[in-house]
Amino acid sequence: MQKRFDAVCRISDRKTAPDEPQGAKVLEYFAEDVFDIGKMAEHLPKSVYKKLMETINGMRPLDPSIADDVATAMKEWAVSRGATHYTHWFQPLTGGTAEKHDAFLEFANGKAIFEFSGKTLTVGEPDASSFPSGGLRSTFEARGYTAWDPTSPAFIKRHENGGTLCIPTIFCSYTGEVLDKKTPLLRSTQVLKKAVVRLMKCFGYKEEPVKVTLGVEQEYFLIDKKFYLQRPDLLQTGRTVYGAPPAKHQQLEDHYFGSIPPRILAFMTEVEKELWRLGIPAKTRHNEVAPAQFELAPIFEDLNLAVDHNMLVMEVLRQTADRHGLVCLLHEKPFAGVNGSGKHNNWGIAYGKRNLLDPGSNPAENAVFLTVLTAVIHALDMHSDLLRTATSGIGNDHRLGANEAPPAIISMFLGEQLEGVIDQLVKGASASKSKTSSLRIGIDALPPLNRDATDRNRTSPFAFTGNKFEFRAPGSSQSCAEANTIINTIVAEALDGLSDKLEKFKKKTFNAELQVLLKSEISAHQRVIFNGDGYTQAWIKEATEKRGLPNLASTPEAIMPLLNEDNQKLFERYGVLNRAELISRYHVFKEDYERRLDIEGRVALEIAKSIIRPVVFKEYLAISNGGKSSQAIETVRLEMEKQMEAMNAYISTLEDALSSGEGIRHAIESLRKNVDALEQLIDDSIWPLPKYREMLFIY
């Protein structure tokens, strides 16, 4: 089609404007649009600042008497920065963020003024009836509440003519049920911190602040907007339901870490500038494995703040791309046959200034490290089904299990050195293949371990990477809140289980009893440790048949653990989510999957019937009525006739599947194979949709 070729020409003629030099300016404007601790100290009375910091540091609940002072200071700062409106910024069960803007404008004595009260800061009342609730709320029950989260600083989102003060909040219903992703995250973090303090007391350490940290690597695709607007499937589903693979895609491995194209670098530079203004410590940028795929990674932060920041990262990526004539695709698998996009969730725990997942410099520290490691092994083995639930979604179903994405079977990678230590601990003898075979078993004699004691395993869902765990299964469009809520809760349970036993140990025999305990725990849960290739059929067979690990390959299977009674009791026991809230999430995820699948099916059907089939039919008639016919032309005509008949049959099958709600995904894939075959058969000059070779390589 002419539009396709016009788009190619316009893109190739495009010139990239040079970037404004930044240099040391970054340090001047970093976090300039954030009401952070420094600005709090500057704008708040000392007594108010002190009380607020005690709340932020988890020492006491928010004192209502300081709310008006904080609100006034926050408003004056925001207005001085050009803001005219404010919003309670929250994260409903849609997977995105939500905001309702109100002006600071009020009237007093007939005069317009800017006003912002403590009550307005701390509590809001958005309509709760139109957000997903999984049955917790009826449509006629509209009342919901947002409540200020002082641990995540307010910030200003800018637009062309001003700005909006965004106040991070939780979101709940009138009757108190949790309707968001932030509330359970905050609860789970609190639970984990208590469990860590309890464990450290068993080892004789004085109480220190606990910090749960997160670093989120965000992968994404960029394509030119002119191509995007000609792809109804990308517009409505975020992925291409059709598209034949180009001769060249990622097989030469030349895109990864390659030179960043000027247009993309200009985009990345503006993204970083926007993020730095918001106090988001974007650190790394590079080409990813697939063509047109890229990655952004920040410096580690407090878990709650990192989750909020990642939601902002996705928004900034999309908005900045639009200003550059690009579209940022955050779908987990926008293009078949090449790498999908994930969100590597790097999770860690610190006690005071010490990283508990960092092997220590003395025997006592190594004992703590091995105990925490054992707790994580226990947690992963007992609750791998819940971690799979956290990664469920129709986009991730297309991604998991290939092209550097981990499989749906949740296992843990420790690396050769740690595996050797574990083997010695369990077997009481040196591991035959371990580089650490000289290590003695006694925990009180365990020497220091190297920081980078592991290789990297791209096929492992949950990998130890030296001083943290990298959960590689979450999808690129997903919120990290759910995954970390689950990690926090299951690790807290495992730590408490160990503390129950450690608290009964005698001081004189503590090390000996600890060694016996860790040996028993690791022996019981060692099945979840796997350092090999997670893509092989041999591993799938071993994992499911010999080790008994769950293989929840699709979203309908992956969300079933939310209905498991033991899982419900776990979350209720720790006060993270109650039974009704977990069941509601099952229904939210189920409805989301079914609705998105139905949309994909209807988009595939519409494109096939109204865009592809007419073009194919015209081409067929042109060949059939072309006069003289050679054997080669006749061969093409017969192949087209065969594919057209198949297309009509596949269209009918998809129509039936959409009508019944059964077999939709299989019907889409069958029709896709047919359409992709036709793409390679039809005259390139009349094919109506931008092709993979254009979308992935022209920008």
pLDDT averaged per 10 residues in sequence order, the chain, 699 residues: 70 62 74 96 95 88 92 96 96 94 85 85 82 72 84 94 94 87 97 98 95 97 97 98 93 86 96 96 95 97 98 98 97 95 96 91 85 97 96 93 77 87 74 40 47 58 92 96 98 98 93 92 95 88 95 95 97 97 96 97 98 95 80 88 96 98 97 97 94 95
Location of each CATH 3.10.20.70 domain in the chain? 31-180
Predicted model pTM:
0.93
Cα–Cα dist 472/55, whole Å: 33
Residues 409, 551 contacting (CB under 8 angstroms):
yes
Cα–Cα dist 433/366, whole Å: 22
**Residue 439: its pLDDT value, please?**
35
Helix (H) or strand (E) holding 84: strand 83-89
Cα–Cα dist 517/496, whole Å: 14
Measured between alpha carbons, how far is residue 616 from residues 41, 45, 631, 692 in Å?
Answer: 68, 73, 20, 19
Measured between alpha carbons, how far is residue 86 from residues 120, 203, 399, 666 in Å?
Answer: 10, 47, 38, 46
**Residue 442: its pLDDT value, please?**
47
**Residue 24: its pLDDT value, please?**
62
| Structure tokens that stand for 355 in this block | 């990283």
The CATH architecture that domain 31-180 belongs to is: Roll (3.10)
How many other CB atoms sit within 10 Å of the CB of residue 15? 7
SS (H, E, C) 517-541: HHHHHHHHHHHHECCCCCCCHHHHH
Tell me the sheet residues that pair with 108.
Answer: 111
Cα–Cα dist 66/75, whole Å: 14
**Residue 536: its pLDDT value, please?**
86
